Amino acid sequence: MSNKPSGRTLAVRAGLETDEQHGAVVPPLHLSSTFTYAGFGQPRAYDYTRTANPTRDVLAEALAELEGGVGATVTCTGMAAITLVCQLVDPGDLVIAPYDCYGGTFRLLSDFAQRGLFRLELIDQTDAAELDRALALNPRLVWVETPTNPLLRIVDLWKLSQRLQDSDALLAVDNTFLSPVLQRPIEFGADLVVHSTTKYLNGHSDVVGGAVVATTPELHERMQYWANALGLTGAPFDSFLTLRGLRTLHARMRLHEENANALANLAVAHAAVRCVHYPGLPDHAGHALAKRQQHGFGGMLSLELAGGEPAAQVFLEALQYFSLAESLGGVESLASHPWSMTHGVVDEASKLAAGLCPGLVRLSAGIEATRDLVADVEQALDCVLAAASARDSALG
Ligand SMILES: *Cc1c(COP(=O)(O)O)cnc(C)c1O
């Protein structure tokens, strides 16, 4: 039994049998905001829940182990986790981020930069020349999302971390889209891994949360310090639920991927679709890289419909087993219109520059039966064609 257990075993068994009082199999939920001193001048392991909480610590330890870091800081949202990482840079420092990053990240980084908390360069990180130019400016923090949202572009983490080796730049990777089951950025040289645990890690669309996994005790301590100072730590009940979701993460990720793959293959062959963005498709620009860097292609895909925004509307309204909603990573399938929803806060010019168009729809494949999801997307795409030909004959 000397071998380190696999992530799947770690996720299932996180914190089990740690209750010394009653021998509970599942770790108890500690909601208490405060903890007594054992006596005058005798603090215990915990004193106040904003600073530290036993339930939250079980989740943090599990996330650190799954990502291969030294410690994790569990936050109240994914945006809180990103806010923490922003505390690592000072005024005048340069932050490099992808121009097609998550809309909320784009807003936060842009507004912080506007207020002078740091300088910001938004670039296409899959473009070697742009990356060269930006890295020559001596950044302090390089922010990466891979795959990107919603176009699923893949960034080469190993190449990037090698190029940053001789600088004092920190590499932070938002691993929300894949989870540590399908990608472990620390193995490719990341200094920090960020999650919106709202998505796959919790997996049931009933918690908003986040985490920062650090690779050195010093970075971890700074994240812990700022989480407490800014008051961004996660709630105990949310941590408890996320820990419960985490136990089935590996099983869920397999089903998400199986469904996404089936949907991508259906959509590629349909006349209503101009193009499909899914790294699992052999002709996706990042397919070979994703194969090397990831342990699977994930459960997210987006479709560019030939008929633009009107087609997107028909498609989204015709779907039966996909709920029209932002977010992703839950057991239920979701569909969204990035142009007006997740990326609604991004200005139009930036959206177009990032390759986003009004005819794009994004799907988060849930874990429902594959044949039901495939049939549903197929009939919704057929509706798009029917609506277009009805419009054409009305015009003709
Ligand atoms: C949702 C999301 C976030 C923000 O997380 P919240 O939990 O909504 O605050 C950040 N990055 C990515 C990639 C996301 O999908």
With a 6 A CB cut-off, is 242 part of the ligand 1 pocket? no
Asked if omega into 338 is within 30° of 0 (cis), the reply is no
Q: Do 197 and 255 reside in the same domain of the chain?
A: no
**Spacing, Cα 39 to ligand 1 middle (Å):** 42
Q: Do 141 and 130 reside in the same domain of the chain?
A: yes
Q: Which CATH number characterizes residue 149's domain?
A: 3.40.640.10
**Confidence at 2, pLDDT banded by 50, 70, 90:** low
Domain assignment of residue 2, yes or no? no
pLDDT, one tens digit per residue, over 42-86 is 999 999 999 999 999 999 999 999 999 999 999 999 999 999 999
Q: Which protein residue has the closest C-alpha to ligand 1 atom 15?
A: 176
Q: Do 158 and 293 reside in the same domain of the chain?
A: no
Q: Which helix (H) or strand (E) holds 254?
A: helix 249-268
With a 6 A CB cut-off, is 143 part of the ligand 1 pocket? no
Q: Which protein residue has the closest C-alpha to ligand 1 atom 8?
A: 78
**Among 131, 86, 127, 84, which Cα is nearest to 110's?**
86
Find the radius of gyration of the CA atoms of the chain.
22
**Number of domains, the chain:** 2
DSSP string, 281-345: STTSTTHHHHHHH-SS--SEEEEEETTHHHHHHHHHHH-SSSEE-S---SSS-EEE-TTTTTTTT
**Confidence at 355, pLDDT banded by 50, 70, 90:** confident
Q: Which protein residue has the closest C-alpha to ligand 1 atom 1?
A: 196
Domain assignment of residue 1, yes or no? no
Q: Do 116 and 241 reside in the same domain of the chain?
A: yes
Of the three residues 184, 211, 246, the one that is the final residue of a domain is 246
Q: CA 266, CA 263: separation in Å to the nearest integer? A: 5
Q: Do 216 and 288 reside in the same domain of the chain?
A: no
Q: Do 149 and 277 reside in the same domain of the chain?
A: no
Does 282 have pLDDT greater than 80? yes
Q: Do 182 and 258 reside in the same domain of the chain?
A: no
Q: Which CATH number characterizes residue 262's domain?
A: 3.90.1150.10
Q: CA 155, CA 290: separation in Å to the nearest integer? A: 9
Average pLDDT across the chain, whole number: 96
With a 6 A CB cut-off, is 53 part of the ligand 1 pocket? no
pLDDT of residue 4: 87
User: Which ligand 1 atom minimizes the distance to the CA of 176?
Assistant: 13
Domain assignment of residue 133, yes or no? yes
CB 201 within 8 A of CB 242: yes
Does the global pTM surpass 0.85?
Answer: yes
With a 6 A CB cut-off, is 146 part of the ligand 1 pocket? no
Q: CA 238, CA 344: separation in Å to the nearest integer? A: 28
Q: Which helix (H) or strand (E) holds 27?
A: none
pLDDT (mean) for 321-329? 96
pLDDT, one tens digit per residue, over 120-134 is 999 999 888 999 999
Mention every residue, 6+ apart, whose C-beta is less than 8 A from residue 12: 247
Does 151 have pLDDT greater than 60? yes
CB 258 within 8 A of CB 214: no
Q: Do 261 and 241 reside in the same domain of the chain?
A: no
Of the three residues 198, 213, 246, the one that is the final residue of a domain is 246
Range of the domain at 381: 249-394
Mutate to test the pocket of ligand 1, among 79, 106, 193 (most ligand atoms within 8 A of CB): 79
With a 6 A CB cut-off, is 179 part of the ligand 1 pocket? no
With a 6 A CB cut-off, is 234 part of the ligand 1 pocket? no
Q: Do 90 and 218 reside in the same domain of the chain?
A: yes
> Helix (H, G, I), strand (E, B), or coil: what is residue 233?
strand
Does 345 have pLDDT greater than 80? no
